[in-house]
Structure 1
């Protein structure tokens, strides 16, 4: 999996990387994602999911609250068909995915990176929304194609490494701007 390849490659020295496998189960996601945020208080959480339909590495801009009808690996589906009852319909990541996409594409990696506004109303979207809600937008989601279709684990690992480093850079610069505005 691309995430394990990223764990081997690592990120820049000032970043602590924690990699977790999240089961394809609604109830586990609802329990695990808040617990991970509480345990680590991360600057950013980047979720990675495999999409059989993906042919590119896809940066998801937002997560959706409603429309979850598919059964998970435990044959469960939330009765409300939503992540957070009463939550907003859609939550955007605070990361500017267009900027990240342009920057990573300019690096000349042998991987195509694209943008999406629909993570699919299944466990990927459910996980993303849950994390965005928990973090007030300090999350990202990257969809990758299945291994070998067309990219190797190493190619995906290097792409994720570049994407996450750009996301952290974009996040740090946007926070610098916010801090400057507050000082005046």
Structure 2
């Protein structure tokens, strides 16, 4: 057996391969992703509890590995949304912003691909509408689209969560949508898309019924966030 004291050419080669000092291995932990998730408070049709607000509670209870979640509930009011959305972007420098809102379609989670700048003529919970029925950011665009591919995202999450639209979680499914509406959902989404369309997504969640529970919907939201960030 050859050791480090072997002489000649082989010894010289072994000497070059032998470190003079012990090698110290260091471990650098992965930096967590900053993800802002918002839900809405009560409003017409969901006067008692907004499903999006309950999902915020579920995410707070479970968390997501590798993600620093910043969870916020926003009043269904144009003035509050106009103020809070830009503040959240500035405060947290997020890698991703997810807005959650409720919609009446049962057992269906919708990934909204785009939002609109105007047409916001429905009164909020304070009886107000935005000036000119327009969003309050400086964008000149009428439509802003997320760079997140909602078709692909829906396929990925459907597979990851094993959703079949029939039996799993009472028939829960995920779909792409291109119309978030002209209320606070679309209003908040347009503001975030104006901040950074590569890091913004709005998700409509259904009311909870039967096996389509808040836990089941929260699981889909967690897997959605992980899929967007590439965390597996």
Q: How would you bin the TM-score normalised by the shorter chain? A: 0.7 to 0.9
- Deviation string, structure 1 residues 106-147 (Cα, Å, up to 9, x no partner): 120433001100001100000100111122442101100112
Structure 2: 5+ residue stretches without partners: 1-53
1:118 paired residue number: 179
Q: Secondary structure at the match of 1:159?
A: helix
Structure 1: 5+ residue stretches without partners: 171-184
Deviating above 4 A after TM superposition, structure 1's stretches of 4 or more consecutive aligned residues are: none
Q: Which structure's residues are more often strand, by fraction?
A: 2
Question: Separation in 2 of the partners of 1:87 and 1:149?
Answer: 44
- Deviation string, structure 1 residues 45-97 (Cα, Å, up to 9, x no partner): 00111112354011000111111110000100013111135521111112111
1:147 paired residue number: 208
Equivalent residues in 2 for 1:90-169, closer than 5 Å? 90-107=143-160, 108-109=162-163, 110=168, 111-148=172-209, 151-169=212-230
Count of residue correspondences: 169
Question: Separation in 1 of the partners of 2:226 and 2:93?
Answer: 18
2:34 paired residue number: none
2:90 paired residue number: 38
Question: Separation in 2 of the partners of 1:80 and 1:150?
Answer: 43
- Cα RMSD for the two superposed structures: 1.7
1:29 paired residue number: 81
1:77 paired residue number: 129
2:139–2:194 Cα contact (<8 Å) kept: no
Q: Secondary structure at the match of 2:202?
A: strand
Q: After the TM superposition, which of the residue ranges 37-46 and 139-148 deviates more from structure 2? A: 139-148
- Please report how far the alpha carbon of residue 16 of structure 1 lies from its aligned counterpart in structure 2 after TM superposition: 0.4
**Rg larger for:** 2
Give the structure, 1 or 2, with the largest relative contact order (CA under 8 Å, sep 6 or more).
1
1:67–1:121 Cα contact (<8 Å) kept: yes
TM-score normalized by structure 2? 0.69
